[in-house]
Amino acid sequence: MQNELSKIVEQEVTIPAKVHFRFVASSRQVVKEIEKNCGGVHIKFPAEKSNSDKVSVRGPKDDVAKAVEELKKVSKRFQETAFEDSIQAKTDYHKFFIGRKGAKINELTAKYPSIRVVFPREDAADKEKIHFLGSKEDVAAVKKIFEKQITELNEKTEVGVEVDPKHHSHFVARYAQVLNSIQKDFCGVVISFPKKGTDDKNVTIKGAKQAVEGAKQRILEIVDDLENQVIISMDIEAKHRPSFFRDLGDKTTRVQVVEDEFNVQIKFPPRPPKTAEGKPVPPTESEMVDDEVKISGRAENCEKAKEALLAFVPIKKTVEVSLDLHRGLIGEKGAIVNSISQAHHVRIIFPKNDEQKDAITIEGVASDVEEATKTVLEHIERLEKEAEDKKLKSFRLDVVIDPKHHQRLIGIRGANVNKIREAHDVRISFPDTRHKDADDRKPRKDFRDPNAGPDVIIRYEAACKEVEKIFLDDVEKYESQYTEEVELDPRFHPKLIGRQSQNLKKLQSEYEVEIRILVRRPRTRLWWSSPAKRTTSADASSVSVSTRKISCRTLSCNTVTFRLARNRSPSVNSRTS
């Protein structure tokens, strides 16, 4: 499990934003092909309006590297074949070029697949410049089409159209919403309706020739819809209404989206009055809450709009989530669950503490609930993997090692054991070897508390067994060494050790031996790591020399003098005191 997790990486690659559309065109055909050829990696392009050059690739390490190289290769080819040109057009014309719901621009890009038409952003310095990107031939052809349209739009004209006075109010109602929409879609043409209360049918349209004709056709389409209009009703509980009027951005609600898509009008009952605190006034027993919603338009469009509205009625879905994972799904101070709720516009309900249920409830619009469920399941999968990894990391291996070897395994200031910890990412603990009955509580090599427990290694099983082998190999090596104790006069200890232990270290290195100097006193054993103090002749001292048998030299006299002769190997001379 931990190996699979470690193989998943994420890498960013720089691809110029101007060629991104070539990758994602035709339902991401190029991207899907790269993902398929590279082991199913996930390639994510930034949002079109972000103008970012960073593309992220996520998946197994080798597959990600392959996908990055493929993206760079394709990007280079796109840049080499890309051609750019531009044209100046009044901002009032831009909406006309795009067409209703993008119909005109989609038709153009379908005819010229390599073309991308980039209209200026609202914060652009030059708001009249339109850019064309694609092959040289396609750019030239599309530019000619736009030039012809601009020439025709610059020709001003005036036409009239007859509209029955009973339909006039539809165009000017709600702050002339329908009328303003037509004018905006057709290059800002001027549409004049007769005064209210007259029987005049003539509506005048002034503006660019091509735009005037388009506006006239749109008015006739709306009149035809009104002539064939029907009204149907449906019930939506008042408690669900807030989801229909939630702001989707740009001050657009779900109701407005349905009205624009199916060319219908939707009327909800008036909202109940509110108290001074902003809370709805509860209805009296004689008052009934009105749940009827009316939809007006063509019969076929009304039915489609009704289905769309029903899809926005909030639902509840139960998702099985183990009780142990609830805390992880909520996150610190509710960070994770809040982010899911805000991203998908849903409400996630956890069971109360006393219920002890392995489930959560997701409430919201059906489409949002499905997306939120996918996100929740992804988090659950991540939490389960983390829990499994945590369980694997908590593997414990007990090793019993004689305390006399602890110092060698630990090393000076823990150098040896720390190196092993870092190399294998394990936790190692040694039991307490201090004598409980001793007053000074100093370490004793010959003592091991039976209640202290074994030496412990905790982490992944494979790593623990590797460290166990290292320890046992070291112990075996220590056990195979030959040890001999030699009595020395304590007055010679400083000479043997030297300044900062230089003499002792040099002697150990050249003879491949380990020398330890001990001072024996009742209940006390001091290690040689700090120079021994001078003692009276009554105190017996010893030097322990450990090495393999083949390198051992016997020191058997009461007083030994170590001399390091210049330009020759060190020797050991002995004399009887």
Average pLDDT for residues 123-145, to the nearest whole number? 86
For the stretch 88-120, pLDDT in tens is 988 888 888 888 778 888 888 888 877 878 888
Distance CA 517, CA 104 (A): 95
Contact in structure between 16 and 75 (CB atoms under 8 Å): yes
* 544 DSSP β-pair partners: 485, 516
Rg (CA), the chain: 43
Element (H, E) at 173: helix 168-185
Give 348's pLDDT tier (boundaries 50, 70, 90).
very high
Which band of pLDDT confidence, cut at 50, 70 and 90, is reported for residue 565? Answer: very low
Query: Does residue 560 sit in helix, strand or coil?
Result: strand
Q: Tell me what percent of the residues of the chain surpass a pLDDT of 70.
A: 80
In one letter, which amino acid is 481? Answer: Q
Contacts of 480 by beta carbon, 8 Å cutoff, 6+ apart: 548
Element of type H or E holding 24? helix 20-37
Asked if the model's pLDDT at residue 432 lies above 90, the reply is no
Nearest partner of 544 among 479, 474, 486, judged by Cα: 486
Beta bridge partners of 118: 131
Ranges of H-type helices in 366-512 = 366-393, 406-410, 415-424, 461-479, 493-497, 502-511
Distance between CA atoms of residues 244 and 240, nearest Å: 8
What is the chain's mean pLDDT, rounded?
Answer: 78
Query: Can you tell me the mean pLDDT for 463-473?
Result: 88
Digit-coded pLDDT (tens) for 513-536: 878 776 554 333 333 333 333 333
Q: How far apart are CA 463 and CA 393, in angstroms?
A: 10
Three-class secondary structure of residue 123 per DSSP: coil
Task: Say which amino acid occupies 557.
Answer: C
Residue 555 has pLDDT above 70, yes or no: no
202-212 mean pLDDT: 89
Q: Which residue has the tokens 């080819």?
A: 77
Domain 8-81 is classified in which CATH homologous superfamily?
K Homology domain, type 1 (3.30.1370.10)
Average confidence (pLDDT) over 329-336: 88
**According to the model, what pLDDT value does residue 554 have?**
35
Residues paired with residue 87 on neighbouring β-strands, in sequence order = 130
CATH 3.30.930.10 assigned to domain 315-394? The reply is no
- Residue range 205-219: mean pLDDT, rounded: 89
Task: Tell me the average pLDDT across 476-487.
Answer: 80
What is the side-by-side order of every strand in the sheet holding 427-429? Answer: 395-399, 455-459, 427-429
Q: Is residue 549 very low, low, confident or very high in pLDDT (cuts 50, 70, 90)?
A: very low
Per DSSP, helices labelled H in 99-161 are 103-111, 136-153
pLDDT of 104: 87
Report the pLDDT averaged over residues 332-355: 87
Residue 489 pLDDT? 81
pLDDT above 60 (res 283): no
Which percentage of the chain shows pLDDT scores above 90? 12
Name the CATH superfamily housing domain 84-155: K Homology domain, type 1 (3.30.1370.10)
Query: How large is the average pLDDT for residues 455-464?
Result: 81
What is 236-271+290-312's CATH topology? Ribosomal Protein S8; Chain: A, domain 1 (3.30.1370)
pLDDT of residue 193: 92
For range 49-72, the mean pLDDT: 87
Mean per-residue pLDDT, 195-207 = 88
Nearest of 411, 408, 406, 451 to residue 430 by alpha carbon: 406
State the Cα–Cα distance between residues 163 and 166, nearest whole angstrom.
8
Lowest mean pLDDT among 127-131, 465-469, 503-507, 559-563: 559-563
Q: Sign of dihedral through CA atoms 335, 340, 346, 352? A: negative
Reported as a pLDDT band with limits 50, 70 and 90, residue 282 is low
Provide the Cα torsion 205, 209, 213, 216; round to 10°. Answer: -10
pLDDT computed for residue 450 by the predictor: 47
Look up tokens 């691809």; give the residue. 15
Q: How confident is the model at residue 571 (pLDDT cuts 50, 70, 90)?
A: very low
84 bridge partner residues: 133
Kind of pairing between the strands at 482-487 and 455-459: unpaired
Residue 144, pLDDT score: 92
Q: Is the pLDDT of residue 448 over 80?
A: no
In the numeric block, the tokens 């708001």 are attached to 127
pLDDT number for residue 217: 92
Q: Coil, strand, or helix at residue 235?
A: strand
Q: Average the pLDDT over 242-259 and give the result.
A: 79
End-to-end CA distance of the chain: 69
| CATH number 3.40.50.720 given to 163-229 | no
Of 177-181, 227-231, 364-368, 404-408, the range with the lowest mean pLDDT is 404-408
Q: Do residues 230 and 297 touch, judged by C-beta distance below 8 A?
A: yes
- The continuous run of DSSP H or E covering 222 comes out as helix 209-227
SS3 240: helix
Dihedral, CA atoms, 490, 496, 499, 500, nearest 10 degrees? -90
Asked whether residue 477 carries a pLDDT value surpassing 60, the answer given is yes
Q: Is the pLDDT of residue 483 over 70?
A: yes
In angstroms, the CA 496 to CA 502 distance is 9
Q: What is the DSSP letter of 11?
A: E
- Render pLDDT for 386-417 as a digit per residue (tens, 0 to 9): 888 888 888 888 888 888 788 888 887 888 88
Render pLDDT for 506-519 as a digit per residue (tens, 0 to 9): 888 888 787 877 65
Q: What's the whole-number mean pLDDT along residues 36-65? A: 85
Is 34 within 8 Å of 71 (Cβ atoms)?
A: yes
Amino acid at 548: R
What is the DSSP secondary structure assignment for residue 450, as one 8-state letter?
A: T
Instruction: Please give the pLDDT value at position 372.
Output: 92
**121 pLDDT more than 80:** no
